[in-house]
């Protein structure tokens, strides 16, 4: 990646382009990354207007993986006067507590010791360089004919507003949008009508320059933040991109369906990308299409209801609904035929695939068992308050909760006036499709009657008493299950349940001791 220190100087002025300070005498160097301590940290961040700090532990595997990428970024950013530092939290515990470090590595952007925020990019050298370069720039850089050329090459995507000086409304909207998106894109502006014409634009308009596909896109629609953001999301996305850990969250947040092309070799992925590009162009803004390394992330195919070892393969996921449409793996992955499949899915002519256990012929016990095929009926399409536990069979916390959860369910199922108003249910989220992404087990949500689209996630301690109170406070019917239990036993004692001293953590797949479970890390 090129160094753009001269351009930054011209854009920011001498005051912002602080010359690179020599490392403090008591700051250890490790390549171009500076190792700081509790004694040196505050003075260092006071002396430098912008610093990226990594809080790490020497034994941390993710930290070791990041180290060469962090060093590469530090080397490039040194020429832009943006230092990268690191702090060993095993020896600098107090400093790490001060900045609320609760996992490794933690990356934070500092503008002085009292102004900091989490780093918002991917843990890749190019991403770090891009993100920190954006942080060093003003929200909108004023451009001229002389500086535009270099500015366009400062990042893979840059956005320039060509707006006349007297158009105060358009300037205000563009500046507000740039402020809200400055972590994601570089923004420039020019009021030169002749320069806009040279760039194939007119005033007012916005040009998005990119180093892929058609190289630039022009927007001359209504300049309001929502409309601009919608356009930028589409224009900044490659027609056929590569899905990986650094791009996954962007695609999932795009708000439109995602088409996955699984292929095992780089050559195959390049070939499919070329073949699918016209299809992606045809449906631009309706679906994003990506290639995926099937050797590295083939297990993800199973999450899309594909056979996870039969490649190449294709599937569509509606990310907002988690609906899945796998393409028939017995057929050849022909772009023309898959193109027809894509159109049919977008037109609503294909039913989503639902991974599901069989619907229970009879419900055993007080806890209602939900599966993929009856999820809508049991959880959504009724006028009951439904408390649903999303669990995994291997989850230790789920096993510990099971007897208490059964006891909770009985408080409602065994009382005639309650059982038609409150349902306590569970679903194996590893064997059945569920609409929402579940990242830890157990996850417990209440779907209140009349507000099924506004479920409330439980975050308290896992006791019968606290769960009863949660249902009472958040359910439509405000039913006190313990009071009903007393009534049902004609005044008999209700078994007391010990209260947990603090909220219990959810168990993630990575925390499980089930070694054979495969979880890819997209």
Whether 63 sits among the annotated catalytic residues: the reply is: yes
DSSP string for 161-181: EE--TT-HHHHHHHHHHHHHT
Cβ(274)–Cβ(267) below 8 Å: no
Query: Considering 398, 409, 424, 506, which one is annotated as catalytic?
Result: 398
Whether 89 sits among the annotated catalytic residues: the reply is: no
**What counts of helices (H) and strands (E) characterise the chain?**
19, 21
Question: Residue 374 in 3-state DSSP?
Answer: helix
Helices (H), 157-299: 168-180, 193-198, 225-235, 248-252, 266-282, 294-297
Rounded CA-CA distance 522/520 in Å is: 6
| Bridge partner list, 243 | 292
Residue whose token pair is 């490392």: 23
Residue 179 is encoded by which pair of tokens? 């402020």
* CA-angle at 520, arms to 518 and 522, nearest 5°: 165
Beta-carbon contacts of residue 362 (< 8 Å; ≥ 6 apart): none
Rounded CA-CA distance 368/364 in Å is: 8
Residue whose token pair is 């180093």: 211
DSSP string for 19-70: PPPPPPTTSEEETTEEE--TTTHHHHHHH-S-EEEEEE-TT-HHHHHHHHHH
Query: Considering 17, 395, 446, 479, which one is annotated as catalytic?
Result: 395
Query: Considering 24, 35, 60, 488, which one is annotated as catalytic?
Result: 60
Whether 60 sits among the annotated catalytic residues: the reply is: yes
Query: Considering 63, 256, 468, 506, which one is annotated as catalytic?
Result: 63
DSSP string for 453-496: TS-EE--S---HHHHHHHHHHHSSS---HHHHHHHHTTTPPPPP
User: Catalytic amino acids?
Assistant: 60, 63, 395, 398
């Amino acid at each position: 990646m090129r160094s753009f220190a001269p351009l930054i100087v011209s854009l920011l002025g001498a005051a912002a382009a602080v010359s690179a300070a020599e490392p403090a005498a008591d700051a250890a160097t490790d390549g171009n990354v500076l190792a700081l301590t509790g004694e040196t940290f505050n003075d260092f961040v006071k002396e430098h207007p912008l610093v990226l700090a990594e809080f790490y532990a020497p034994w941390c595997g993710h930290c070791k993986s990041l180290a060469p990428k962090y060093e590469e970024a530090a080397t490039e950013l040194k020429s832009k006067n943006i230092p990268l530092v690191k702090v060993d939290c095993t020896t600098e515990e107090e400093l790490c507590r001060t900045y609320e470090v609760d996992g490794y590595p933690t990356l934070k952007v500092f503008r002085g010791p009292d102004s900091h925020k989490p780093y918002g990019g991917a843990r890749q050298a190019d991403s770090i360089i891009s993100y920190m370069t954006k942080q060093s720039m003003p929200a909108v850089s004023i451009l001229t004919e002389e500086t535009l050329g270099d500015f366009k090459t400062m990042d893979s995507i840059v956005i320039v507003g060509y707006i006349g000086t007297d158009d105060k409304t358009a300037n205000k909207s563009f500046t507000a949008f740039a402020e809200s998106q400055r972590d994601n894109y570089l923004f420039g502006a020019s009021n030169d009508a002749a320069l806009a014409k040279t760039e194939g634009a007119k005033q007012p308009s916005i040009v998005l320059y990119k180093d892929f596909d058609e190289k630039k896109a022009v927007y001359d629609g209504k300049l309001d933040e929502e409309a601009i953001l919608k356009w930028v999301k589409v224009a900044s996305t490659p027609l056929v991109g590569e899905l990986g850990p650094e791009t996954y969250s962007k695609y999932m947040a795009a708000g439109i369906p995602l088409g996955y092309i699984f292929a095992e070799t780089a050559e195959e992925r390049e070939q499919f990308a070329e073949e699918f590009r016209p299809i992606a162009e045809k449906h631009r803004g309706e679906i994003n299409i990506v290639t995926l390394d099937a050797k590295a992330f083939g297990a993800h195919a199973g999450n899309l209801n594909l056979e996870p070892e039969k490649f190449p393969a294709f599937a569509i996921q509606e990310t907002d609904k988690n609906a899945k449409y796998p393409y028939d793996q017995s057929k050849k992955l022909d772009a023309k035929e898959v193109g027809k499949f894509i159109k049919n899915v977008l037109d609503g002519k294909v039913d989503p695939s639902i991974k599901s256990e069989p619907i229970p012929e009879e419900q055993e016990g007080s806890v209602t068992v939900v599966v993929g095929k009856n999820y809508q009926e049991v959880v959504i399409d009724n006028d009951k308050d439904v408390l649903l536990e999303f669990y995994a069979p291997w989850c230790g916390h789920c096993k510990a909760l099971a007897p208490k959860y059964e006891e909770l369910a009985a408080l409602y199922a065994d009382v005639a006036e309650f059982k038609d108003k409150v349902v306590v249910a569970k679903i194996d989220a590893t064997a059945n499709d569920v609409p929402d992404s579940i990242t830890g087990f157990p996850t417990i949500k209440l779907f209140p009657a009349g507000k099924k689209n506004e479920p409330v996630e439980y975050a308290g301690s896992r006791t019968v008493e606290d769960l009863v109170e949660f249902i009472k406070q958040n359910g439509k019917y405000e039913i006190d299950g313990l009071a009903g239990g007393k009534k049902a036993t004609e005044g008999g004692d209700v078994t007391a349940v010990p209260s947990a001293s603090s909220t219990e953590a959810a168990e993630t797949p990575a925390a499980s001791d089930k070694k054979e479970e495969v979880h890819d890390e997209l």
